[in-house]
A and B are shown apart, each in its own frame.
Chain A
Amino acid sequence: MASSSTSAVSERRGIPAAAFVEDVQTYLTQSGLDVNSSLAFLQERLQQYKLVEMKLLAQQRDLQALIADFEVSEGIYSRARIEDTDSVCLWLGANVMLEYSCDEATNLLQKNLENAKASLEVLVDDLHFLRDQVTVTQVTIARVYNWDVHQRRSKQAAAAAAKDS
């Protein structure tokens, strides 16, 4: 399995990357936050990621519907050509319809289809990136929480030992 590079991207198209925490103690010291503030910050980050994810998923659905439409309309217009027309009319949206020669029409539809597909690809990559940041944040939250539990237990154990001595 190829491993991705260890140098993480700091953000992607406006979405901040979730920094990987090497060591919880260092992370807390450096950020100057106590455990609860740190957890609150991470939880808020998680919520923001989820919001962006929902927006991107909606965009993805729209693009997929658009692409499905292209494929259908290409089919319709190419079959219409077989039925002996020299030109076709394309509905451009916003109450505009233009007449094109068959070649022009095919090219236009093809170009729009490719643009939509390219946009979809970028969007899917955005979603993958986002998903990874969500996972990293969830793991960091768990680790900070565990570290805190561990600290408390150690302190309790130390306090109990001091009392007995």
Chain B
Amino acid sequence: MQQGGGSDTEVTWEDQQNINKFGRLNNRFHELEDEIKIAKEMNENLEDASNELILTDDEVVRFQIGEVFAHMPREEVESRIEQMKEVTSKNLEKLEEEKDSVLAQMAELKRILYGKFKDSINLEED
């Protein structure tokens, strides 16, 4: 964020707090984008895993817990994967909602700050 040269507009403490808030929201926005990407990948992996499971004939499947693999009956693996898929989907939804909220707040702050400072402030991503 930079200001153009020679501007006369005074910066009040409230303006500073708005700018700070915008900065924090922008950071959170990038964090959320990363988290959303990870959650989507997780979803894909779970899809792949459950597809593989349908294709296999094995009765006992190796299921990963942390750093170990445990032998488990196929039905149990199926239900666990289903459960994980549900948790991941809900998480993804929550993240997308937060992202929308953050974007909305940022848009509002842009309106206020550009309104007061016009060209003297730059709130865009470089």
Our verdict on whether A and B bind, yes or no, reads yes
A75 to B24, CA, bound (A): 34
Query: Could you say which residues of chain B place their CB within 8 Å of the CB of A3?
Result: 14, 17
Interface residues on B, range: 20 to 34
Consensus secondary structure, chain A interface: helix
Q: Assuming the A-B contacts A6-B13, A76-B66, are A142 and B24 also in contact, with contact meaning beta carbons closer than 8 angstroms in the complex?
A: no
Q: Is the CB of B23 within 8 A of A75?
A: no
Q: Is the CB of A131 within 8 A of B16?
A: no
Q: Is the CB of A131 within 8 A of B3?
A: no
Q: B interface vs A, CB < 8 Å? A: 1-8, 10-11, 13-14, 16-17, 19-20, 23-24, 27, 65-68, 70, 120
24 residue pairs of the A-B complex, CB under 8 angstroms, read A6-B13, A20-B13, A20-B16, A23-B10, A72-B67, A75-B65, A76-B68, A131-B23, A132-B20, A132-B24, A135-B1, A135-B16, A135-B20, A135-B23, A138-B1, A139-B3, A139-B16, A139-B19, A143-B11, A146-B3, A146-B6, A149-B5, A149-B6, A150-B7
Identify 19 new A-B residue pairs, CB closer than 8 A, beyond the known A136-B16, A136-B20.
A3-B17, A20-B13, A20-B16, A23-B10, A72-B67, A73-B66, A76-B66, A135-B16, A138-B1, A139-B1, A139-B3, A139-B11, A142-B3, A143-B3, A143-B11, A145-B5, A146-B4, A146-B120, A150-B8
